Amino acid sequence: MSVHVIYGSDGGTTRGIAQRLASRLQGRAIDITKASVADLESPALLILGCPTYGFGDLQSDWEDRLSLLKEAQLSGKRVALFGTGDQMTYPDTFVDAMGILYDIVVDRGAQVVGFTDTKGYDHTGSAAQRDGRFVGLALDEDQQPTLTDQRLTAWIDQIR
């Protein structure tokens, strides 16, 4: 199964996660600044990763390249999302960016896989939740770095 992990990252955390996912799924990690529409459309599984900045905003490269996602034909495509954030410093907007990407890909007809439980997180609000679940994998390398590996493993099993 071909896998592309498209990510944006200011500080490198999300890039690192994208590279780990790509290596474990024998896929390619591609920075959103270098991605093409074909990179979004061609894989059997498309994974999108974004940190949240501001208070609940997309990372700036994602913001700048959002037109790419809006152009892509994603009808019926399997898409999985992950978000990086900090639940203690930003408890009301935890991994919000993942929710922003979710709404766009659903609007484009994607079939989103990889919803996860909110158990084990300590936050008060997130735009990345639907019916009490995260729309993808929420990772907190600032507050819960020791949980990342097991979260990745469980999620990979789920989406594979």
Ligand X SMILES: Cc1cc2nc3c(=O)[nH]c(=O)nc-3n(C[C@H](O)[C@H](O)[C@H](O)COP(=O)(O)O)c2cc1C
Binding site for ligand X (CB under 6 A): 9-14, 51-56, 84-86, 90, 93-96, 141-142
Q: Kindly report the backbone phi and psi dihedral angles of residue 7, in degrees, each rounded to the nearest multiple of 5, phi listed first.
A: -140, 160
Altogether, the residues listed in the chain come to a count of 160
Task: Determine the Cα–Cα distance for residues 15 and 109; give it in Å rounded to an integer.
Answer: 26
Q: Which residue has the tokens 């978000």?
A: 83
- Whichever of 41 and 142 has its CB closer to ligand X, that residue is 142
The closest residue (CB) to ligand X is 85
Smallest gap from Cβ 5 to ligand X, in A, equals: 13
Smallest gap from Cβ 149 to ligand X, in A, equals: 15
Q: Which tokens go with 152?
A: 């990745």
- Whichever of 29 and 74 has its CB closer to ligand X, that residue is 29
Smallest gap from Cβ 96 to ligand X, in A, equals: 6
End-to-end C-alpha distance for the chain, whole angstroms: 9
Smallest gap from Cβ 64 to ligand X, in A, equals: 14
- Whichever of 56 and 114 has its CB closer to ligand X, that residue is 56
Task: Determine the Cα–Cα distance for residues 10 and 22; give it in Å rounded to an integer.
Answer: 19
- Whichever of 109 and 125 has its CB closer to ligand X, that residue is 125
Q: Which tokens go with 84?
A: 């990086």
Residue 143 burial class via C-beta count within 10 angstroms: exposed 0-12, middle 13-18, buried 19 and up: middle
Smallest gap from Cβ 57 to ligand X, in A, equals: 7
- Whichever of 80 and 90 has its CB closer to ligand X, that residue is 90
